[in-house]
Structure 1
Amino acid sequence: MRIPLAIACVFLGCCTNVVFLELLVKEDPGSGNLITFSQFFFIALEGFLVTSKCGTVKPRIGIKDYMILVSMFFVSSVCNNYAFDFNIPMPLHMIFRAGSLIANMILGILILKKKYTFSKYLSVLMISFGIVICTIISGADVKSTQPVKGDSLPTTPWDDFFWWILGIILLTVALFISARMGIYQEVLYARYGKHAKEALYYTHLLPLPLFITLTSNIWEHTVLAVNSAPMAVPIIGITMPKTILYLIGNVLTQYMCIRSVFVLTTECPSLTVTLVITLRKFISLIFSIVYFQNPFTIYHWVGTVLVFTGTIIFTELVPKIQQSLQTSSKTEKVQ
């Protein structure tokens, strides 16, 4: 019962999280740092109460080792959420992040001296082409995501394109830092063993002081959030600022998403985890396109198909499913 519930929570939590994120970004494109801080604070608070039992449980992985991991996690998280302030539409953001396998392979070759099969190289090539196609097409029609203020001058296409380029750079930096973080996690797990709950807690707790550098930006968008239009909360029957409601929804669903993925990684084989996460990303993308009516041309679809097909090939999803089915059929015959 726990596994089906976790799978359901991954789809519900992660997909709903994307919805709340897009609602937030449409309401205030510059709220990325506020979103990141809120997520970190909530997960750190929960970890302090539950995982560390109010600080009484000592970490099994050294704090010094965590600091390296934390610095990478902080930068990648801030870059990913801050990119929305640079004219990056949600579908492109999701497609770009789905290309993490590219960075993983490149760093795996450079740092770990790994060698891959032809199918792996082919899949990464497909993912790369898919992202390039989507990026080029999106770059051909860049629009400012900033709300127009009465006293501000309208931006020019070149202004919008310049900020969009910076957004692409932010996403690229985040992609490679996340990949490097994954490699470092492998090193830590090999040295200390897997302590996913603890890692989740400390990677969200230790970066909190770093948000001091973003205080003015976070405060500015907190004020905007508090002063946003009031909205009635379903069921409860109270009203609160719209952006605050979206932010609460985003934080809670982010927590549900992370916790559910954690349960899957500890309870299920990698095949199940990969399949669920891949499907979740695809459903989130489709929902973003349909519900929010984001511009999505035939070229975007070609790029999307390349990215997700490449991901399926890289993770060897089809052979693993076939192997799993064959194993289960043999088991039934034996019985």
Structure 2
Amino acid sequence: MPKKNTLSNTSQGGLGILGIWFPVLSLIFGGCCANVLALEAMVSEAPHSANLFTAAQFLIVALLNLPAHTHWPKGSWFPRLAPRKVPMTRWIGQVALHLSISLLNNVALGYQIPIPLHIVFRSAGLLVSMLLGALVAKKRYATMQIVSVLAVSAGVILSTLSSSSSTSSKGQSKEESYSQYLIGISLLSVALLLSGFLGLYQEKTYAKYGNQWREGLFYGHFLALPFFFIFFRDIQEQSAIYNASQPMQLTHLARGTPFASLSPLIPSMAFPRLWIQLGVNLVTQYICVLGVNRLTGIASALTLNLVLNVRKLTSLVLSVFLFGNTLGPGGWAGCLLVAAGSMMYALSSRTQSPPSSISPTGPPGEKKKVQ
């Protein structure tokens, strides 16, 4: 009788683990990969609409987190923001950095930066975090950590040079295309540097006030919304481009997917294709964030880093094959160096004491963002 209970418990334990991991991995690989593909579909047709979809992304995250950070006082006609655990001045500084990084990364897509390179280049954040940690925070790193970060950097440089050699654009000369490419790389480089400073800023905030990432997620998006009024005219012009895009039936979204059988239940309505793609991007972004946050609660930092690296490589491969992007031998070699270096860093960080090294997933709070 006891043996039967043991087997039953083991079986239930295995099913329990499967029941936890399968939904989480489905959210990450389904949501994050679909998010990248929807973004690339938009950028390929409207490459200069970064302000529009960045504003939409900030708005949807702020709205989804608003109920958890507001309360309705008795006798009041309007809700109010709930008491904060972190001073508003700290969040304002984070907003300035976060908004700048998001805009720079998104705007770079309009300057001859292919999505595969965009994915690989942003992996160089480990190098920036290490340099700033050593120079600003006076941190020390193990030899294996340094070697792994150098491998990531070499991979990024190799992929960048490989992409630059094949840069071209219709209606532009080779010199004009290369100039556009250099602008895009410069924007991504500045964004990487600011990401490193954001990581240190968040690290100090969380060290003093606790790991208030939910509060940071809300205020980091909510307080940034007024800044988009500066780009109101550009957002208005890009909205007109979205409105003029080719209409698409909503039923087409389910074709070729496991949800094809649900097509009869979807209204036979047509909307501009770019707006539909933006809607898919926003939904999948939320799913991606939900999956990453749930994984953070059940897995170690090492497991989190490895899963997200595999997810990034999956997004890159899908981008190459589904959108016809070219990635030569140098580009693929760079991707492998980035993946190997990231995994080496995660393994080396596992054996180091926390005070002497930065998080293997990058700056604090980074794992809570849209992958």
1:67 aligns with 2:98: no
2:277 aligned to which of 242, 246, 263: 246
Once the two structures are TM-superposed, the CA of residue 266 in structure 1 deviates from its matched residue by: 2.9
2:193 aligned to which of 162, 176, 180: 176
Once the two structures are TM-superposed, the CA of residue 138 in structure 1 deviates from its matched residue by: 1.1
Task: Give CA deviations for 1:234-275 in whole Å, capped at 9, x if unaligned.
Answer: 232321100000000111111111122122223322122112
CA–CA distance in structure 2, aligned partners of residues 55 and 283 of structure 1:
42
CA–CA distance in structure 1, aligned partners of residues 44 and 212 of structure 2:
37
Identity over the aligned pairs, expressed in percent? 33
Structure 2: runs of 5+ lacking an equivalent = 1-18, 72-78, 252-262, 352-371
Structure label with greater radius of gyration = 2
Q: Which amino acid aligns with 1:297?
A: G
1:286 aligned to which of 314, 317, 324: 317
Q: Do 1:275 and 1:317's aligned partners in 2 also have CA atoms closer than 8 Å?
A: no
1:88 is paired with a residue of what secondary structure? coil
Aligned to 2:233: 216
TM-score by length of 1: 0.89
The total of aligned residue pairs comes to 312
Aligned to 2:361: none
CA–CA distance in structure 1, aligned partners of residues 131 and 22 of structure 2:
35
Aligned to 1:124: 149
CA–CA distance in structure 1, aligned partners of residues 219 and 293 of structure 2:
15
Once the two structures are TM-superposed, the CA of residue 126 in structure 1 deviates from its matched residue by: 0.8
Once the two structures are TM-superposed, the CA of residue 61 in structure 1 deviates from its matched residue by: 1.1
1:197 aligns with 2:222: no
CA–CA distance in structure 1, aligned partners of residues 196 and 26 of structure 2:
27
2:110 is paired with a residue of what secondary structure? helix
Aligned to 1:43: 61
Q: Which amino acid aligns with 1:98?
A: S
Query: Which gives a bigger RCO, structure 1 or 2 (Cα 8 Å, sep 6+)?
Result: 1
CA–CA distance in structure 2, aligned partners of residues 52 and 252 of structure 1:
23
Q: Do 1:23 and 1:246's aligned partners in 2 also have CA atoms closer than 8 Å?
A: yes
Aligned 1:100-115 pairs, distance under 5 A = 100-115=125-140
Once the two structures are TM-superposed, the CA of residue 141 in structure 1 deviates from its matched residue by: 1.9
2:192 is paired with a residue of what secondary structure? helix
CA–CA distance in structure 1, aligned partners of residues 26 and 349 of structure 2:
22
Aligned to 2:123: 98
Aligned 1:1-335 pairs, distance under 5 A = 1-53=19-71, 55-144=80-169, 154-234=171-251, 235=263, 236=266, 237-316=268-347
Structure 1 vs Structure 2 CA RMSD = 1.7
Q: Which amino acid aligns with 1:285?
A: L
Aligned to 1:333: none
Task: Give CA deviations for 1:270-319 in whole Å, capped at 9, x if unaligned.
Answer: 12211221111111111111111201111111111011100110111797
Aligned to 1:323: none
Q: Do 1:48 and 1:55's aligned partners in 2 also have CA atoms closer than 8 Å?
A: no
CA–CA distance in structure 2, aligned partners of residues 190 and 61 of structure 1:
11
Q: Do 1:124 and 1:310's aligned partners in 2 also have CA atoms closer than 8 Å?
A: yes
Q: Do 2:116 and 2:316's aligned partners in 1 also have CA atoms closer than 8 Å?
A: yes
1:316 is paired with a residue of what secondary structure? helix
User: Relative to 1, partners in 2 of residues 1:108 and 1:14: Cα closer, same or farther, differing over 3 Å?
Assistant: same
CA–CA distance in structure 2, aligned partners of residues 105 and 319 of structure 1:
16
Is 176-185 or 69-78 further displaced after alignment?
A: 176-185
2:82 is paired with a residue of what secondary structure? coil
Task: Give CA deviations for 1:9-36 in whole Å, capped at 9, x if unaligned.
Answer: 1111111100100101111111111111
Aligned to 2:254: none
CA–CA distance in structure 2, aligned partners of residues 267 and 203 of structure 1:
25
Q: Do 1:88 and 1:164's aligned partners in 2 also have CA atoms closer than 8 Å?
A: yes
CA–CA distance in structure 2, aligned partners of residues 319 and 157 of structure 1:
46
CA–CA distance in structure 2, aligned partners of residues 318 and 194 of structure 1:
20
Once the two structures are TM-superposed, the CA of residue 3 in structure 1 deviates from its matched residue by: 4.7
Aligned to 1:332: none
CA–CA distance in structure 1, aligned partners of residues 102 and 237 of structure 2:
19
CA–CA distance in structure 1, aligned partners of residues 51 and 350 of structure 2:
41
Structure 1: runs of 5+ lacking an equivalent = 149-153, 321-335
CA–CA distance in structure 1, aligned partners of residues 299 and 216 of structure 2:
19
Task: Give CA deviations for 1:56-79 in whole Å, capped at 9, x if unaligned.
Answer: 422211110001111000000000
